[in-house]
Structure 1
């Protein structure tokens, strides 16, 4: 995995110029083919190289960790230098992508960076510019329409307190600070549960010197981190020397050099998301080798019981569903830890993580063995929870919230056993978000999750298939006319209906013969049905039955001559 700084990302689109003297149609086709091939190549590379945005917020907290040998010096000076080199012109340290609804995220990141500089007494000019940005945008801290990082009220208030400890004068009115502290106190007084305990451990940097650090250590993972969160791990290490935390952060900086993401490790989930994306957009056939590699690697991690899968509900549910759909032997018992009573005592349950519940709902539909009551129970409580959230959520004008609720609605309305592939592809193409920004304590994005190359390739492929389908429908229309089926007044004209059912079920372009045969059989079945219902006399119906029973349809030119209408009907069947 590698990091990218979004503010310096180049446009992923390629530009192809055409020769003014060339054939415009040929040049357009050539340009489209080149774009198509380049998009495929970029996606293939993404399967092997996961890129995740840098987190200024988490990098700042890592920069604040003192050296274990001298508390007067930073343990990770490279992070401090990164902060000095990456302040934006407006004085902020921004989130993964500039966005008008991410001001809270920017405020949180900027204050964390200012605190890191103040902690080590460097970057006076940077601090001044950062404080000026905070002052001019502080009104957004209480704006409910903003996208809110997890734990913002607790963490931002905690950083304000830490600023006081560092004798840093924040340009904020005392009344505004009092409002912040009041909102924090309300959160801290919420109902007591294991989910709340996990939440308070996750936002440890906001609680600071008031935190029960021994309680926090209950959530330490095998890799030494707290929740795979660099910021929570750094805050813990700053207050409680721990070799596991130090090892995790040191390994992180060995890998990424001078800055960190908001989440690490982050390897299994984005690759599964890529697999899910190419399959759900109808372009999986272009990446069979990459898909097989992801499946095999995920299955290996599954068998080894890796924490990245089994301690994270969205990853575990997505891995289970993907592996089971593709024929891998995975037990539903792996999802036992996410039963209703366990979920609401977890961090995700406390936060009412809709993405996690949707993934569990979809995974629980993969029942292939008898007596998998666990999955049935999951379907019951997750569907109830999602319906409740859907009904309680007012119509939101913000794309981020709309996307989540659309995902919930689609999961409930279109279960996997009641979906037609081509319609699913089209719906997913229409709803695909190329700017998929996700929010933890800081926003993050990955080129592997939201990317224009996926959408471009999907649209091109979908339109190419549609062209094939249109040509096949024209071919069938000619067949109907040649066989004079359109002259049968008693028969319903169901060609489009019959072909639609074929194209929606037998999608791949190479299955043309199967689609045509399906549609023809559907049309002929409709004709016979109508002939028996309204079109034929009793004698004619008996004649047709006798014809079928005697095998005349298979005799072709050897069929004996029949007279009148019966002959025409027999010839129709023999020639189709």
Structure 2
């Protein structure tokens, strides 16, 4: 495993060296459809002259060399299967090869693919074809016939094909003169394919200039649009690194890109009026992505950049009408609103609007009519966002999902295709991501075994009562904070959570009041001489844990935090005793009184603050003494308590205990349980936005940023446990996630390992558990509409 670690660092260095001088265009994989159109261009001024050689031979060479084993060119879906976009893309490539009398075998395989897959992709009602396909596909059929290619579609598709041609004719009748739509750079809407068709139809020098400029930047295959928004490409690469779990290896590069983006973001001028759908969709995608990344990295940014579109009624109407086209942009807007602060009501509206659009995309009617035409399978991502919000997802498992997603190399969406990462960079990043994930799994397995040994040796796994959650506790913290936090922090948090679970159950269900009083008193004096049985076991385990933390902080930081740790644990035990007295005495506190104690008894701060001292012992001087916590810590204490209360009120009612949901019903006799839970959730929503602002933005308290981020990670763990149900108390709810996080290898097909298995096995024995950081007849009308879909 040490050899794997060395290989990871070497690959990180190799990728960094390449990224320093790389042209942003090199990040983007070529578009087969657009490249084929450039490959068709005859350099002869008179198209009736004999053919010599293609004007852009490199594009023809790309077509020859980039046919898939299945015989097609173009996009595939998340399962690796060709999408409907592959039909026109494959025809375009076959036409280009036929025009120059090359690649006879490629042509044969390409036509076989079209004939063999036409029925699969066209076998639905034509009214549901995407507009771009209704225009492009008939054009490719006409061109193929003109080029002498024999297309033999099944006879039962004739009526459907006739309907597609009819729909295309209706669209073209609404077109405009091509010349009126040339951009200043000579392009049609910055589309290489559309501009190539325009040049072949008109011979406009402006179009040629654009195409020559394009090939000058992209020597072989060309992207779906040009020029590329280089800033968007860099932004998407940053997003890619984070989603793959590689951000910690590229901290400097990410920060440098975001710093430049921040200045550009704030100085950007809004569009004077709504533009074409592609422009709006791309800008929405970019601005919402920039907002999310910048805010997550602590930059003070406003959401006006993407909200300006959503405030425009014309744009909203376009989105609602052409919701499929805007689905990716709306998903990005929805994700951006994950980072909404308290009082940002316009973001609340944006979240509601984008959610409705996503729900429409996911509706049964939409699924039945659209599935064959979606170049990328967005449904799973959308479903996951709506069902499991970001606040309740753990980073480590998020990285696994993205690594295993076959479309994880997609940067941003085009009209009928996508901007993808180049194959070379994709392979290297995927190789690194797989190795990095498996390295983490190895570390996590070792640490979990150590935590289990400690729990067993201290008697905590065999108490005979309550919940045994050793694995749950370690899994949750290991999957929620990035690996650069050293092993000691993960171990201390996991051990603290185990002690909290056992001790809390002892106070709730096992100990007599005399035992609870004695144990609490012993914690206050930090003297176990009078304790016996379970009380003694709990105290000794806690004493061992505190001693371990103190020793490590003294060794690495030179600060003695013994008194601080004893005080914060006594505060927690005292709160458990208070709640036990309420329950057994039938006392009903007010909501305020209950929360005053319940915020402490949930023990989130008890788990996080001591462990934070391992990296930031100076936080003891930042008002973290019992009763003097900063706002961000108070939010850490309140949010988990309310989350737990919403999911546990039925159980606690049966046990004769009180929580916030039940107390609201007592204080509001006219309310029902739905009213009560809605009341608590309203508080949660507000406090969550407040917590995010305190964690991400500077100027909110004195706690160091790493400590604040641990606060956020801890709250996300509680969100994961209690978002929709009580997963923590279940013995089966978490098992699959635990297996995927720690034990089950990644499902990434034939991805190459960094280290041969036998060498990796040999290296395991010497592993150190401490990781380092790390168409032609009416061509003008067709070209116009091709670009404006």
Report the TM-score when normalising by structure 2: 0.54
**Which residue does the alignment assign to 1:317?**
288
- Deviation readout 1:350-377 (Å, 9 max, x if unpaired): 653432221122123321262332x222
**Which residue does the alignment assign to 1:417?**
391
Alignment of 1:44-193 (within 5 A): 44-45=16-17, 47-48=19-20, 49=22, 50-55=26-31, 57-62=33-38, 79-82=55-58, 85=61, 88=64, 95=73, 101=82, 103-110=86-93, 113=96, 117=99, 123=100, 125-126=101-102, 139=115, 142-145=118-121, 151-159=132-140, 169=148, 171-172=150-151, 180-187=161-168, 189=170
Give the conservation status (yes or no) of the 8 Å contact 2:31–2:417. yes
Matched, 1:361 2:329: no
**Which residue does the alignment assign to 1:387?**
359
**Which residue does the alignment assign to 2:350?**
378
Query: Residues 271 and 503 of structure 1: is their aligned pair in 2 closer, same or farther, counting only changes over 3 Å?
Result: same
**Which residue does the alignment assign to 1:291?**
254
**Which residue does the alignment assign to 2:458?**
483
Alignment of 1:433-512 (within 5 A): 433=407, 440-441=415-416, 445-447=420-422, 451-486=426-461, 488-512=463-487
Q: Give the secondary-structure state (helix, strand or coil) at the position aligned to 2:28.
A: strand
Q: Give the distance between the partners of 1:483 and 1:243, measured in 2 at CA.
A: 82
Report the alpha carbon displacement of residue 335 of structure 1 after superposing the two structures with TM: 0.9
Among candidates 287, 294, 299, match of residue 328 of structure 1 = 299
Matched, 1:520 2:495: yes
**Which residue does the alignment assign to 2:242?**
279
Report the alpha carbon displacement of residue 408 of structure 1 after superposing the two structures with TM: 1.5
- Deviation readout 1:87-117 (Å, 9 max, x if unpaired): 63999996358987365134431365269x5
Q: Give the secondary-structure state (helix, strand or coil) at the position aligned to 2:340.
A: coil
Report the alpha carbon displacement of residue 542 of structure 1 after superposing the two structures with TM: 2.5
Query: Residues 426 and 358 of structure 1: is their aligned pair in 2 closer, same or farther, counting only changes over 3 Å?
Result: same
Matched, 1:405 2:379: yes
Give the conservation status (yes or no) of the 8 Å contact 2:224–2:417. yes
Q: Give the distance between the partners of 1:88 and 1:342, measured in 2 at CA.
A: 41
Q: Give the secondary-structure state (helix, strand or coil) at the position aligned to 2:64.
A: coil
Segments of structure 2 that go 5 or more residues without pairing to the other structure are: 124-128, 272-277, 546-789
Give the conservation status (yes or no) of the 8 Å contact 1:344–1:350. no
Q: Give the distance between the partners of 1:485 and 1:322, measured in 2 at CA.
A: 42
Q: Give the secondary-structure state (helix, strand or coil) at the position aligned to 1:525.
A: helix
Query: Residues 177 and 227 of structure 1: is their aligned pair in 2 closer, same or farther, counting only changes over 3 Å?
Result: farther
- Deviation readout 1:156-187 (Å, 9 max, x if unpaired): 433555688xx755545798888645313225
**Which residue does the alignment assign to 1:262?**
224
Matched, 1:232 2:197: no
**Which residue does the alignment assign to 1:213?**
177
Report the alpha carbon displacement of residue 400 of structure 1 after superposing the two structures with TM: 7.5
Query: Residues 425 and 539 of structure 1: is their aligned pair in 2 closer, same or farther, counting only changes over 3 Å?
Result: same
Give the conservation status (yes or no) of the 8 Å contact 1:150–1:440. no
Q: Give the distance between the partners of 1:524 and 1:129, measured in 2 at CA.
A: 69
Report the alpha carbon displacement of residue 222 of structure 1 after superposing the two structures with TM: 6.5
Report the TM-score when normalising by structure 1: 0.72
Report the alpha carbon displacement of residue 334 of structure 1 after superposing the two structures with TM: 0.9
**Which residue does the alignment assign to 2:721?**
none
Give the conservation status (yes or no) of the 8 Å contact 2:285–2:333. yes
Q: Give the distance between the partners of 2:174 and 2:201, measured in 1 at CA.
A: 10
Q: Give the distance between the partners of 2:390 and 2:220, measured in 1 at CA.
A: 44
Runs of at least 4 residues off by over 6 Å: 63-74, 89-94, 97-100, 127-135, 146-150, 173-178, 240-244, 306-311, 395-402, 566-569
Give the conservation status (yes or no) of the 8 Å contact 2:518–2:531. no
Count of residue pairs brought into register by the alignment:
511
Q: Between 337-346 and 170-179, report the one with greater CA deviation.
A: 170-179
Q: Give the distance between the partners of 1:38 and 1:278, measured in 2 at CA.
A: 17
Q: Give the distance between the partners of 1:185 and 1:571, measured in 2 at CA.
A: 82
Q: Between 135-144 and 475-484, report the one with greater CA deviation.
A: 135-144
Matched, 1:40 2:8: no
Q: Between 253-262 and 376-385, report the one with greater CA deviation.
A: 253-262
Q: Give the distance between the partners of 2:456 and 2:32, measured in 1 at CA.
A: 67
Q: Give the secondary-structure state (helix, strand or coil) at the position aligned to 1:88.
A: helix
Question: CA RMSD for the aligned pairs?
Answer: 4.7
- Deviation readout 1:315-358 (Å, 9 max, x if unpaired): 23222221221122332111134427515526993653432221
Q: Give the distance between the partners of 2:225 and 2:7, measured in 1 at CA.
A: 33
> Which structure ranks higher in relative contact order (CA pairs < 8 Å, sequence separation ≥ 6)?
2
Segments of structure 1 that go 5 or more residues without pairing to the other structure are: 1-27, 118-122, 190-199, 201-206, 554-558
Q: Between 99-108 and 61-70, report the one with greater CA deviation.
A: 61-70
Among candidates 312, 318, 326, match of residue 345 of structure 1 = 318
Query: Residues 430 and 69 of structure 1: is their aligned pair in 2 closer, same or farther, counting only changes over 3 Å?
Result: closer
Q: Give the distance between the partners of 1:221 and 1:347, measured in 2 at CA.
A: 28
Q: Give the secondary-structure state (helix, strand or coil) at the position aligned to 2:363.
A: helix
Q: Give the distance between the partners of 2:424 and 2:268, measured in 1 at CA.
A: 24
